[in-house]
Amino acid sequence: MSRTDPQLKVRLPLEMKEELEQAAKENHRSMNAEIVARLQESLHQRFVPSEAADMSPEDRLKALRAEMDRTMAEYHNAVMRQAETYHEYKKAMKERSNSQND
């Protein structure tokens, strides 16, 4: 995402804004990144349970496996982002400590 991406002004209930702020903090994201991640997730859901009624058992299983694979990939990416953030934090703290000792 860049500063040249389109901007959108949105009204939210205060409670929802506060929930988003808390989620962003817990996920180590900006509010914008949290909202974009949640929108992407909702727009790219591949398997909706209401669709299962019209599926054969084999197709349901395939859909569930695909959803599980997608979820695991998202989880892996989130863990890797957190690890990267942690390593950046540790590096910054080490540099700060070194500069204070000089």
Identify the residue whose tokens are 């979820």. Answer: 71
Instruction: Decide if 14 contacts 25 (C-beta within 8 A).
Output: no
> Can you give the pTM of this predicted structure?
0.45
Query: What tokens were used for 71?
Result: 């979820």
Tell me the per-residue pLDDT of 13-60, one tens digit each, with 9 for 90 and over: 999 999 999 999 999 999 999 999 888 888 776 555 666 678 888 888
Sequence ranges of the domains in the chain = 13-44, 50-102
**Close Cβ partners of 72 (under 8 Å, ≥ 6 residues apart):** none
